[in-house]
């Protein structure tokens, strides 16, 4: 057996994988000691053949479930035709995807493509500064927000715990409380160029905007000629029952950042920016080598088509209503469930206790969920999840939360 073959074809047990990672992979993640080998829909299997029901597939990237057939087919087809060419050439998938996103976002936007959420926000930050010239470079973002880990996006992230040890941060950011319009207004100066906000905060605990909040930010931006940037990385692409979360309210952004679910689980990021704003991104100012590659764009087109053909925006609303009903019933007899926040398939259960033990107990019962912000259980189920699977997962959650003793 030659060496290349042996490198590729050695399936590991979970214990072997843990050992290998200990030795060779940087330990910047808290991982569960499970090596996943296969996924289909809302189910994944580990190396030992155990089945897990996944209520948090791909950290929100696998909106269509694991290995959605039409994405698999599109990617297989594309890798056999053209894997990668740089942005010195035109390709059909990138052009068609830009058109599809522009048409669905409703503000005649133009796209720039990259590979992740943090990169999309970096592009948005640069574009805002370019539009602010001369003299305006400051950006207001929100406390409890999350925009990514590169230096611009992490500076925009209004959570000091993510800033510790990596200072100095990028200049020019200040933070308002999410929901506080007056607070945001107080931060505006004649050096401000933009306001950056997640229409629904994800990592910060699934926080929904109050009535009039996003519209109020729009007015504030119009009044002071600021750009309004929506980070739709987690809430976008159909997760909440509309293509983009802002479409639940009467508001449009100047720039929107996308990633996660954009390409059915394949790495892809993008910004969509109003044409007039987008003009400032001229050749040489910004780029991404892999951005807009044919595989990611074909996958994204297949994802959009799947959502439309299978009416998955309606399905997101159904998932939200289903979980609301089940969880509210549980809330009535489970005092540690403090608040339930749901928009489509974006679900946060705020507890009065630390959420990590619940995640571990769910894992023991082979249900995968997430805890964010210390005490918020976060569920981002796939839109393709069946009612039976929803029933199964909600049953486990009820059991775990209902039987919890401090
Ligand atoms: C709203 C939001 N923006 C940006 C990011 C960063 O995305 P990525 O991890 O792809 O860089 C995330 C990731 O969770 C997110 O939820």
pLDDT at 404: 80
Burial 232-256 (b: 16+ CB within 10 A, else e): bbbbbbbbbbbbbbbbbbebbbbbb
Q: Is residue 350 predicted with pLDDT exceeding 90?
A: yes
- Confidence band (pLDDT; 50, 70, 90) for 9? low
Average the pLDDT over each of 175-179, 272-276, 324-328 and give the range with the smallest value: 324-328
Q: Is the CB of 159 under 6 A from ligand 1?
A: no
How far apart are alpha carbons 338 and 215 in whole angstroms?
28
**Which residues contact residue 133 at a Cβ distance below 8 angstroms, ignoring those fewer than 6 apart?**
none
| Look-up of token digits 């159904």 | 318
CB-CB contact of 359 with 30 (8 Å): no
Burial of 206 (0-12, 13-18, 19+ CB in 10 A): buried
pLDDT at 3: 54
**Which residues contact residue 269 at a Cβ distance below 8 angstroms, ignoring those fewer than 6 apart?**
113, 114, 115, 116, 117, 119, 120, 233, 257, 258, 259, 262, 291
Q: Can you give the pTM of this predicted structure? A: 0.97
Q: How many CB atoms lie within 10 A of CB 221?
A: 21
pLDDT at 333: 86
Mean pLDDT across 31-53: 98
Query: How does DSSP assign 273-324, residue by residue?
Result: EEHHHHTT--TTT---TTTT-HHHHHHHHHHHHHHHHTTHHHHHHHHHHHHH
CB-CB contact of 198 with 185 (8 Å): no
User: Across the chain, what does the average pLDDT equal?
Assistant: 96
Nearest CA to ligand 1 atom 16: 234
pLDDT at 406: 64
Residue 181: alpha-carbon gap to chain centroid: 24
Rounded to the nearest whole angstrom, what is the distance from the C-alpha of residue 118 to the centroid of ligand 1?
6
Omega into 134 within 30° of 0, i.e. cis?
yes
- Confidence band (pLDDT; 50, 70, 90) for 2? low
pLDDT at 5: 62
**Which residues contact residue 293 at a Cβ distance below 8 angstroms, ignoring those fewer than 6 apart?**
83, 84, 85, 94
Rounded to the nearest whole angstrom, what is the distance from the C-alpha of residue 147 to the centroid of ligand 1?
5
Rounded to the nearest whole angstrom, what is the distance from the C-alpha of residue 140 to the centroid of ligand 1?
18
List the one residue out of 330, 328, 307 whose CA is nearest residue 382. 307
Tokens linked to 379? 């569920």
Q: Is the CB of 205 under 6 A from ligand 1?
A: no
CB-CB contact of 150 with 118 (8 Å): yes
Mean pLDDT across 197-212: 98
pLDDT digits (tens, 9 = 90+) for 68-92: 999 999 999 999 999 999 999 999 9
Q: Is residue 62 predicted with pLDDT exceeding 80?
A: yes
Q: Is the CB of 146 under 6 A from ligand 1?
A: yes
Q: Is residue 327 predicted with pLDDT exceeding 50?
A: yes
pLDDT digits (tens, 9 = 90+) for 356-391: 999 999 999 999 999 999 999 999 999 999 999 999
Mean pLDDT across 287-298: 98
pLDDT at 1: 46
To test the pocket of ligand 1, the residue of 162, 203, 261 to mutate (highest count of ligand atoms within 8 Å of its CB) is 203
pLDDT digits (tens, 9 = 90+) for 101-140: 999 999 999 999 999 999 999 999 999 999 999 999 999 9
Rounded to the nearest whole angstrom, what is the distance from the C-alpha of residue 234 to the centroid of ligand 1?
7
Mean pLDDT across 254-281: 98
Report helix angle 294-309 to 92-105, nearest 10.
Answer: 40
Nearest CA to ligand 1 atom 4: 147
What are the angstrom distances between the C-alpha of 399 and each of 108, 152, 215, 368? 48, 42, 40, 14
Q: Is residue 4 predicted with pLDDT exceeding 90?
A: no
Q: Is the CB of 118 under 6 A from ligand 1?
A: yes
Mean pLDDT across 150-175: 98
How far apart are alpha carbons 329 and 63 in whole angstroms?
26
How far apart are alpha carbons 278 and 270 in whole angstroms?
13
How far apart are alpha carbons 367 and 75 in whole angstroms?
29
To test the pocket of ligand 1, the residue of 63, 118, 255, 291 to mutate (highest count of ligand atoms within 8 Å of its CB) is 118
Rounded to the nearest whole angstrom, what is the distance from the C-alpha of residue 87 to the centroid of ligand 1?
24
pLDDT at 150: 98
How far apart are alpha carbons 336 and 402 in whole angstroms?
9
pLDDT at 10: 75
pLDDT digits (tens, 9 = 90+) for 213-231: 999 999 999 999 999 999 9
């Amino acid at each position: 057996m030659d060496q290349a073959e042996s490198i590729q074809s050695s399936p590991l047990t979970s214990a072997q994988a843990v050992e290998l990672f200990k030795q060779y992979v940087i330990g910047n993640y808290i991982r569960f000691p499970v090596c996943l080998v296969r996924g289909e829909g809302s189910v994944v299997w580990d190396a030992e053949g155990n089945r897990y029901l996944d209520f948090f597939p791909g950290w929100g990237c696998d909106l269509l479930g694991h290995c959605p057939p039409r994405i698999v087919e599109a990617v297989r087809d594309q890798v056999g035709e053209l894997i990668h060419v740089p942005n010195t050439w035109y390709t059909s998938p990138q052009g068609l995807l830009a058109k599809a996103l522009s048409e669905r976002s409703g503000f005649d936007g133009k796209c720039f493509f990259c590979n992740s959420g943090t990169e999309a926000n970096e592009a948005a930050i640069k574009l805002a500064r370019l539009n602010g010239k001369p003299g305006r470079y400051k950006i207001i973002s929100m406390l409890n927000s999350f925009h990514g880990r590169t230096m611009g996006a992490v500076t925009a992230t209004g959570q000091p715990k993510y800033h510790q040890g990596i200072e100095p941060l990028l200049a020019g950011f200040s933070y308002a409380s999410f929901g506080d319009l007056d607070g945001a207004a107080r931060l505006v100066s004649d050096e401000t160029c933009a306001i950056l906000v997640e229409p629904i905060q994800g990592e910060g605990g699934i926080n929904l905007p109050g009535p009039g909040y996003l519209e109020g930010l729009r007015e504030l931006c119009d009044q002071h000629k600021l750009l309004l940037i929506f980070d739709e990385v987690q809430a976008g692409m159909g997760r909440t029952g509309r293509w983009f979360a802002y479409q639940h309210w009467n508001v449009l952004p100047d720039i929107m950042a996308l990633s996660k679910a954009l390409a059915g689980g394949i790495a892809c990021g993008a910004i969509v920016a109003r044409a007039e704003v987008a003009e400032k991104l001229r050749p040489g100012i910004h780029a991404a080598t892999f951005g807009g590659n044919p595989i990611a764009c074909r996958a994204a087109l297949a994802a959009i088509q799947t959502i439309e053909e299978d009416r998955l925006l309606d399905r997101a609303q159904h998932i939200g209503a289903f979980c609301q009903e089940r969880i509210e019933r549980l809330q009535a007899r489970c005092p540690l469930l403090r608040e339930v926040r749901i928009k489509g398939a974006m679900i946060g259960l705020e507890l009065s206790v630390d959420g990590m033990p619940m995640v571990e107990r769910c894992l023991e019962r082979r249900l995968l969920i997430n805890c964010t912000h210390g005490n918020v259980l976060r569920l981002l189920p796939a839109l393709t999840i069946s009612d039976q699977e929803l029933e199964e997962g909600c049953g486990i959650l009820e059991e775990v939360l209902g039987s919890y003793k401090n």
